Amino acid sequence: MKTAIRTLSYLSVALCGSLLASSCSTAKHNTLTEKEKAEGWELLFDGNTLSEWKDFNGTTLTQPWHVVDGCIQANGDGSDLSGYIVTKKQYENFIIDWDWKLSYGGNSGMLYHVIEDPYFKVPYVTGPEYQLIDEEGWEKTNAPTKLEEWQKLGVDYAMYLPDKSKKKVNKQGEWNNSRIVFDNGHVEHYLNGKKIVEFDAWTDDWFARKNSGKWEMAPEYGLGRRGAICLQDHGYPASFRNIKIKELPRRVDNATITLFNGKDLTGWDQYGTELWYVDDEGHLVCESGKDKKYGYLATRDYYNDFDLTLEFKQLANGNSGVFFHSFCEPNARVHGWQCEVAPKGHDTAGIYESYGRGWLVQIPEEKENILKPGEWNTLRLRVEGDHVQTWLNGEAMVDIHDAKIGAAQGRIALQIHDGGGIKVLWRNIRLNRL
């Protein structure tokens, strides 16, 4: 939970930590049966080391987590801005199962699809959370403050509430078992063997909840299609054991997705003060505004592996672009990679990295004449893992492999370059997931 007021004394926290440590047992824990191994389960904790874990946004493990009597244990030294550890490996679709025990009034959580980037200072602005909290103890410790329903045990934090009739928790100080299933956007939470939460991510209902509550000011929350698993030390001792995960296959719908409906900007988010609108002929128009700054129109969804085609017509200047694996800050600073759209002589269909390495590949000089200024052009962009290919008007332009692109994910975004005087039309923006 992100807003808890902690009033436990350091003495009581230390006492709770010692009680948790003394109650952990190594007998028959942190192991997999032969059947589980055959089914594809893997341990994220072997009972002895934290070799699968590291600091959030770090390369090594320095946070105050330790192995105590066969348990991963949080000391309770963390805060809202610190105390998070994440798996070294990213996961997309999975079942994760774990045992947990909290100190009196304890507050922790299991997060997933956490995106690591220096811009994101804490994991919960990207990763959904299965809330872990001793409700009764927390409210007694923090009286008269009461927990909101969306802060209680088992919730999809600040999004979906559990079925109270199925929510059975063991006495404080005893072990409980939890499970998250994330199967191609379908999500289930279990508590002690009972399913308590079920929903589908990235639906209209999901976006409505995301954009109207706790995450209204966290635009990248929950959009990741893959990411790290994260444990939270939120200032209370907590113990975990038997953490195991089974990866599930990605299901690809081969249906073509129309990203622009020809009527309005449904499905897109605008960044900056430049102009985006639909004209009378059903074209998407990007046009410089009075501020003459950068502007972006980004898909509300992430698209990682895809084959995108669109048409564009440059009416004035034409300095624009198609970003991918990207996200935007509220001030219209973009993170990601650009498939260039620019006037003749300026590498349309080349690949540029924003706020990083700059040009990854420019097009050959002899291909500059493929662009048709003032006419409709067809651009194709295919991204699969670290492999990026582009075509302009049916002609191959770029074919590169780049590990940094392969490790990233994000939105597709159209750009208005700064400087003013730009007007570009777009139509037939279509995509197939790979």
Section 380-406 average pLDDT: 98
pLDDT at 4 over 70: no
pLDDT at 402 over 70: yes
- In this structure, are 155 and 23 located in the same domain? yes
> End of a domain among 212, 247, 282?
247
Residue 252 lies in a domain: no
Low-confidence winner among 73-82, 83-92, 282-291, 415-424 (lowest mean pLDDT):
73-82
pLDDT of residue 80: 74
Q: How confident is the model at residue 96 (pLDDT cuts 50, 70, 90)?
A: very high
pLDDT of residue 81: 75
Q: How confident is the model at residue 245 (pLDDT cuts 50, 70, 90)?
A: very high
Residue 287 lies in a domain: yes
- In this structure, are 113 and 261 located in the same domain? no
- In this structure, are 319 and 225 located in the same domain? no
- In this structure, are 179 and 71 located in the same domain? yes
pLDDT at 105 over 90: yes
pLDDT higher for 16 or 62? 62
- In this structure, are 208 and 77 located in the same domain? yes
pLDDT tens for each residue of 21-39: 445 655 589 999 999 999 9
Q: Which domain holds residue 116?
A: 10-247
Residue 1 lies in a domain: no
Q: Three-class SS string for the chain?
A: CCCCCCCCCHHHHHHHHHHHHHHCCCCCCCCCCHHHHHHCEEECCCCCCCCCEEECCCCCCCCCEEEECCEEEECCCCECCECEEEEEEEECCEEEEEEEEECCCCEEEEEEEECCCCCCCCHHHCCCEEEEECHHHHHHHCCCCCCCHHHCCCCECCCECCCHHHCCCCCCCCCEEEEEEEECCEEEEEECCEEEEEEECCCHHHHHHHCCCCCCCCCCCCCCCCEEEEEEECCCCEEEEEEEEEECCCCCCCCCEECCCCCCCCCEEEECCCEEEECCCCCEEEECCCCCCCEEEEECCCCCCEEEEEEEEEEECCCEEEEEEEEECCCCCEEEEEEEECCCCCCCCCEEECCCCEEEECCCHHHHHHCCCCCEEEEEEEEECCEEEEEECCEEEEEEECHHHHHCCCEEEEEECCCCCCEEEEEEEEEEEC
Residue 5 lies in a domain: no
Phi, psi for residue 369 in degrees, rounded to 5: -80, -5
Say which residues have a Cβ less than 8 Å from residue 204's Cβ, sequence separation at least 6: none
- In this structure, are 394 and 428 located in the same domain? yes
- In this structure, are 116 and 37 located in the same domain? yes
> End of a domain among 218, 247, 276?
247
- In this structure, are 201 and 341 located in the same domain? no
Residue 313 lies in a domain: yes
pLDDT of residue 27: 59
pLDDT at 63 over 60: yes
> End of a domain among 247, 278, 312?
247
pLDDT tens for each residue of 308-360: 999 999 998 989 999 999 999 988 999 999 999 999 999 999 999 998 899 99
Residue 361 lies in a domain: yes
Q: How far is CA 218 from CA 107, 119, 269, 301, in A?
A: 22, 12, 13, 14
- Residue 312: which CATH number? 2.60.120.560
Count of domains observed in the chain: 2
- In this structure, are 136 and 161 located in the same domain? yes
- In this structure, are 262 and 235 located in the same domain? no
- In this structure, are 366 and 268 located in the same domain? yes
Residue 161 lies in a domain: yes
- In this structure, are 277 and 243 located in the same domain? no
Residue 2 lies in a domain: no
